[in-house]
Amino acid sequence: MPGYSEMCTLFGFASKNAVAKVVGKLIDAGVVEKDSRGKLVPVALTETVPLLGHIEAGFPSAAEEVALDRISVDELLLGKREKMYLLRVKGLSMVDAGIYEGDLLLVERTCQAKVGDIVVANLDGDWTVKYLREKKGKKYLEAANEDYPDLWPQLSLEIGGVVRSVIRTYGNR
């Protein structure tokens, strides 16, 4: 979290007193708290959810409802919160990777990616999400749908992030 001086600049406040009032309200609302050094830290915005075990996606098997652990969805999805952003998927080029139109992609902002990563990339001025591939020392983008061709850069290929998670909701939104 930024310090009081930086928040003055970010929020356009004239004094640290104004920031202190806002911070006090955020603490009262349970959005932030002070750590042992007096630094502001965000509070998990979601409760933990019990991890009940594994489920067969093949043949059915007996299952017991015994919590193996509790997982903070907030930490799971936003481990590197300051580097993360969301994008909503438009199109069908990644369906074979389990990414469908309307899904939300949780993306880590980085220009570093490994071959095989699903990346958000700027290809010759247009943004897309695809697998990063390499052939004969040249990087290109590959869809996860055979109806879409490989995309080779004519001018440039810049990585804007690496997809870390797909979020999909079912039923009523």
From 130, 139, 156, 165, active-site residue: 130
93 is catalytic: yes
CB 3, CB 23: distance < 8 Å: no
130 is catalytic: yes
* No. of helices (H) and no. of strands (E), the chain: 3, 10
Can you give 60-83 as a three-state secondary structure string?
A: CCCCCCCCCEEEEHHHHHCCCHHH
CB 141, CB 131: distance < 8 Å: yes
CA dist., res. 98 & res. 94, Å (int)? 7
From 93, 138, 139, 165, active-site residue: 93
Strand pairing of 138-142 and 126-135? antiparallel
CB within 8 A of 80, min separation 6: which ones? 108
What are the catalytic residues? Answer: 93, 130
